[in-house]
Amino acid sequence: MKLVVAGNGMVGQRFVEALRARDSAGRWEVTVLAEESRPAYDRVGLSAYFTGTSAEDLSLVPEGFYDDAPAVTLRLGEPVLSVDRDRHVVTTARGEYAYDALVLATGSYPFVPPVPGSDLPGCFVYRTLEDLEALAAHCAGRRAGAVVGGGLLGLEAANALRLLGLRTHVVEFAPRLMPMQLDEAGGAMLRRHVEALGLTVHTATRTERLEAGPDGIVERMVFAAAEDGAPVTGGAEPGIDVDTVVFAAGVRPRDDLARACGLEVGPRGGVVVDRTCRTSDPAVYAIGECANVDGQVHGLVAPGYAMAEVVAARLLGGDDTFAAADSSTKLKLLGVDVASFGTPAGELDVVYSDPAHGIYAKLALTDDAQTLLGGILVGDASAYAVLRAGVNGPLPGKLADFLGSGEVSGDLPGGAQVCSCHAVTKDDILTAVGDGHTDVAGLKACTRAGTGCGSCVPLLKTLLTQAGVEQSKAMCEHFAYSRQELFDLVRVRELRSFSRIVAEFGTGRGCDVCKPAIASILASLGNGHILDGEQAALQDTNDRFLANLQRNGTYSVVPRIPGGEITPDKLLVIAEVARDFGLYTKITGAQRIDLLGARVEQLPLIWRRLVDAGMESGHAYGKAVRTVKSCVGTTWCRFGVQDSVSLAVNLELRYRGLRSPHKIKAGVSGCARECAEARGKDVGVIATENGWNLFVGGNGGFRPRHADLFATDLDTETLVRTIDRFLMFYVRTADRLQRTAAWIEGMDGGLDHLRSVIVDDTLGICADLDAAMERHVADYSDEWAATLDDPDKLSRFVSFVNAPGTPDPSIEFVTQRGQAVPADAPVLVAGPTLATRTQGEVDR
């Protein structure tokens, strides 16, 4: 029998795979007619294209899958143009194909609101790889872009514009972002995250029209007047100047084939199907975004996959039906975790909000607080997998476990759905584990869990642990070693390049997980300047330019000020540099001076002035020892009992440039009054009458933690030796991006074990740790100065490779409180109530 599939998107491909897996007898000869010129690819992960993921990486078609013709044939660039239901024939531009059964998997098309000017050059949709390629080509040299739509797709598109270097606006008609998934409070929290990244958000805003510039390309987006009739400042029409517009205001089902051949279509679109996914014609099925089930069109991949499985089973005599769709979703939008699952509002809503850390969580429960109905998570979605799997069942643990703590405990019933994309339950996973699939890769291959959106992967690891399976500590898919194991291998083998390391101990070409981690390992082992040779390609943006990238595309320059001590002459140089280059200056909480707003081509010029004045890089950009904060100690303070300033200066100069798994901060207080806040640092030292008390494992950040008392009344020599060993042991054994607090907490034996290793030398490695630190101290060189002395390194510091001396024209500044700030910087404006505006709006 002949089967024709119209469409080769994610759902169409899933259907063909499901049918082929079931049809061992070869009952169906399958022809897939695809509109696009490339096989099915992952539209959910489409934005990864802008971070280096290739079209081949996004492909969903297993190698050789369509080599088995005529059993299964894929015809690219040959869409179905018409359907003759009486003759059971579909027509393409190249001919006719007879069918015994036809599956419509034509998906959807982007909705472009009827806005005058929407067809201007510079306007795009965000749907296919071709759309993204065209967008990337257009954006080269552009300054500002706007995305129409603040939903899931709109925020993905906004991130794409941001990655392409454009100042980005998000324009949403609804009063909040992601109105279909989030409530008002969740939308407000997401907005805070998005605006903190430098994007400008316009909610409750409708685009009136788009206007072209002299070159015919879109130049301005004009907004409709406010419904309350509020006057517009200066009499001008409200709007924004943009040279790129992306429409991401939703999608509509592609049901044109069904309409043309007389199939029933829903009032708001979509091919009407029953719960077997059969249309009004018994020989025709519809699945995915083009299908209308019970009056609803589903725009997520999980319901589409479920439909694909139903039709595959039905074509082979099964009795499967389409159950209620799971509309749960978890995404990382612009680096922010956002999740929605089940019913987001119930008889009893329990809410947790932490504005300081950008976390919002709401759980919808029955009135007896015993059954979980759904919820919303913004900022921290670590509990999503367990919570979604527990919907309509008893809450899997205590409420406190899921609201704000990020810790997940409790258990799930066997029938709880772990993977909504592929309808895999906990029992399915445990059965697979019992059959010998004892890692995530094995579970993916056996059950397909984790191969859809990927949000259930953390839960797969949890279930493996609960089943008694020891989890791999592999750094990533390219290295089957933990960071500690890889560090030791690189150190012992004396390897000095990523290519050698991956050739001997890994596979593939690396990724954004292992490359920076290995770059850090090589730097920790004294492998020369981080921009030397192959190492330069491994660094992230900040390390690549020896400066921190800021929200408007400029960089910050932070010279080292050891212990917070600085001479008037050096202060004068910093002031002159800031004045001459128009930089924003701010004294940081770490007793340094931040110079912000430097363009990339200005960095070497600024460094030259600072280096010539005797200053050096403060490593504010690196995963390295940053600062050693101090009070004034016995030098000035009448309560001080030790010279905290001298110790802080000596420690900072000793450990400067030490690369590590995460940033390291330290503090020295001259007495128990703790003015340097040493107990909030990775390494904290507090003076006593008899010497120094040493504290370790403190940190600020997302989850602040006080340091633990490690040793008391140490003399200075013993203190320094102990800190040496602590830092070196941490550098060698911690996981990538693991702070010292988490490293100690995860250590078998905790603080007692650490003390036995670096004080009692139970592992016999203290001499090696001491020698390693001495090598670091002896080999230190300033990365700024070394870059200034190397023409090859200097060549990378340009805004445009083809115009080295040209500054980036998209970078604009205005004046705020006497200093230059980004033109789109949020500013709190006083009035009857405090309100946030951009500085540019305030100036106007």
pLDDT in tens, 348-383: 888 888 777 788 888 888 888 788 888 888 888 777
> Please, are residues 467 and 430 in contact by the beta-carbon 8 Å criterion?
yes
For residues 797 and 545, the answer to whether their CB atoms sit within 8 Å is yes
More confident position, 61 or 824 = 61
pLDDT of 131 above 50: yes
> Residue 539 is which amino acid?
Q
For the chain, the average pLDDT equals 87
One-letter-per-residue 3-state SS of 209-267:
EEEECCCCCEEEEEECCCCCCCCCHHHCCCEEECCEEEECCCEEECCHHHHHCCCCECC
Given the structure tokens 């445009």, which residue do they identify?
800
Contact predicate 596/554, CB 8 Å: yes
Residue 736 is classified by DSSP as T
More confident residue, 739 or 232: 739
Find out whether the peptide bond into 282 is cis, omega within 30 degrees of 0: no
69 burial level (CB within 10 Å; 0-12, 13-18, 19+)? exposed
Terminal-residue alpha carbon distance, the chain: 70
| CATH top-level class of 112-249 | alpha beta
CA–CA gap between residue 829 and residue 233 (Å, rounded): 16
**Residues comprising the binding site for siroheme?**
675
By the 8 A CB rule, do 193 and 358 touch? yes
Rounded to whole angstroms, the Cα distance separating 333 from 335 reads 5
**Is the separation of the CB atoms in 779 and 656 below 8 Å?**
no
Tell how far CA 607 is from the center of its chain: 31
At residue 136, the 3 state secondary structure works out as helix
For residues 24 and 30, the answer to whether their CB atoms sit within 8 Å is no
pLDDT at 818 (0 to 100): 87
Q: Is pLDDT of 53 > 50?
A: yes
Phi, psi of 614 (to 5 degrees): 90, 15
Q: Tell me the range of 185-189, 307-311, 492-496 where mean pLDDT is highest.
A: 307-311
As a 3-state breakdown, the chain gives helix, strand, coil percent values, each rounded to 5, of 35, 25, 45
| Listed residue (201, 183, 202) closest to 193, CA to CA | 201
* Both structure tokens of 478: 């390219």
Question: What phi and psi values does residue 275 have, to the nearest 5 degrees?
Answer: -75, 0
Binding residues: 631, 637, 671, 675
Cα–Cα distance for residue pair 180/411, rounded to 1 Å: 30
Say if residue 832's pLDDT is above 80.
no
* Amino acid identity at 698: G
Q: What is the largest CA-CA distance in the chain?
A: 99
Burial of 92 (0-12, 13-18, 19+ CB in 10 A): middle
At residue 756, φ and ψ (nearest 5 deg) are: -65, -30
Q: Residue 450: left if φ>0, alpha if ψ -120 to 50, beta else—which one?
A: left
Contact between residue 419 and residue 305 where contact means Cβ atoms under 8 Å apart: no
Beta pairing partners, 836: 828
Angle at 421 between CA 417 and CA 423, to 5 degrees: 40
CB of 352 closer than 8 Å to CB of 399: no
Q: Return the CATH architecture of domain 623-781.
A: 2-Layer Sandwich (3.30)
Where are the alpha helices (H) located in 379-425, listed in sequence order?
384-389, 399-402
Residues of each domain in the chain carrying CATH 3.50.50.60:
2-109+252-315, 112-249
pLDDT above 60 for 287: yes
With residue 484 as reference, give the H or E element that holds it: helix 483-493
- Indicate if the pLDDT at residue 407 is higher than 50: no
pLDDT for position 57: 80
Q: Pick from 23, 30, 11: which is nearest to 100 by CA?
A: 30
pLDDT reading at 834 higher than 70: no
Contact between 773 and 728 under an 8 Å Cβ cutoff? The reply is yes
What confidence tier does 229 reach under pLDDT thresholds 50, 70, 90? very low
Superfamily of domain 411-472: BFD-like [2Fe-2S]-binding domain (1.10.10.1100)
Report phi then psi at 800, rounded to 5. Answer: -135, 120
What's the pLDDT at 233? 39
Task: Decide the pairing of beta strands 336-342 and 329-333.
Answer: antiparallel
Give the pLDDT score at 390. 76
Do 687 and 642 contact (CB within 8 A), yes or no? yes
Model pLDDT for residues 767-782, shown as the tens digit of each residue: 999 999 999 999 999 9
> Structurally, what CATH architecture does the domain formed by 328-410 represent?
2-Layer Sandwich (3.30)
2-109+252-315: which CATH number, 3.60.10.10, 3.30.70.260, 3.30.70.100, 3.50.50.60?
3.50.50.60
Q: Which residue has the higher pLDDT, 502 or 403?
A: 502
What stretch(es) of the chain map to CATH 1.10.10.1100? Answer: 411-472
Local structure of 87: helix, strand or coil:
coil
Helices (H), 268-425: 301-315, 384-389, 399-402
Amino acid at 600: V
Q: Which residues of the chain form CATH 3.90.480.10? A: 546-617
Q: Is 232 a residue whose pLDDT tops 50?
A: no
* pLDDT greater than 70 at residue 840: no
Cα–Cα–Cα angle for 205, 210, 212, nearest 5°? 150
Q: Please enumerate, by residue number, every residue annotated as part of a binding site for [4Fe-4S] cluster.
A: 631, 637, 671, 675
Q: Which residue has the higher pLDDT, 302 or 230?
A: 302
Taking the C-alpha atoms of residue 645 and residue 649, their distance in angstroms, rounded to an integer, is 6
- Rounded to whole angstroms, the Cα distance separating 200 from 823 reads 11
DSSP character for 527? Answer: -
Total-model pTM? 0.59
Average pLDDT for 510-531: 86
Return the top range by mean pLDDT from 9-23, 376-390, 423-437, 735-749: 9-23
Domain 546-617 fold? Sulfite Reductase Hemoprotein; domain 2 (3.90.480)
What pLDDT digit, counting tens, does each position of 556-598 carry? 999 999 999 999 999 999 999 999 999 999 998 889 999 999 9
Interaxial angle between packed helices 483-493 and 716-733, expressed in degrees from 0 to 180 and rounded to the nearest 10: 100
Q: Between 578 and 69, where is the model more confident?
A: 578
d(CA 561, CA 109): 56
Between residues 250 and 643, the one the model is more confident about: 643
pLDDT at 471 over 80: no
Looking at residues 653-676, what average pLDDT do you find?
94
Q: Are 36 and 4 in contact (CB under 8 A)?
A: no
